[in-house]
Structure 1
Amino acid sequence: VMSNQAAVEAIMHIKDAQAAAKHLTEEALLKKSKDDISCIVVRFH
């Protein structure tokens, strides 16, 4: 549904990993993903 880079750019401003995962999942739904949707966000500091 989106490239790795697009996913990074979409959540860069979101500090909370759970909120970021929710945002990416919602983006996939908005883009009418026809596949199962799973998302794991790992923050590296």
Structure 2
Amino acid sequence: MHPLFLALLATLFTWGMTALGAGLVLVTPRMSQKFLDAMLGFVSIF
């Protein structure tokens, strides 16, 4: 595959994950502390 196409796919994937996370915050009024800790732990892996 062409490198520019791969860059576009990576950009769209990153944008999609960011939008999904923002949407989760907008839809869910309150999140449990345990869920927030799990999300923080997942992020620190990367």
Q: TM-score, normalised by structure 1?
A: 0.40
* Bigger relative contact order (CA 8 A; separation at least 6): 1
Select the structure of larger CA radius of gyration.
2
Where is the helix percentage greater, Structure 1 or Structure 2? 2
Q: TM-score, normalised by structure 2?
A: 0.39
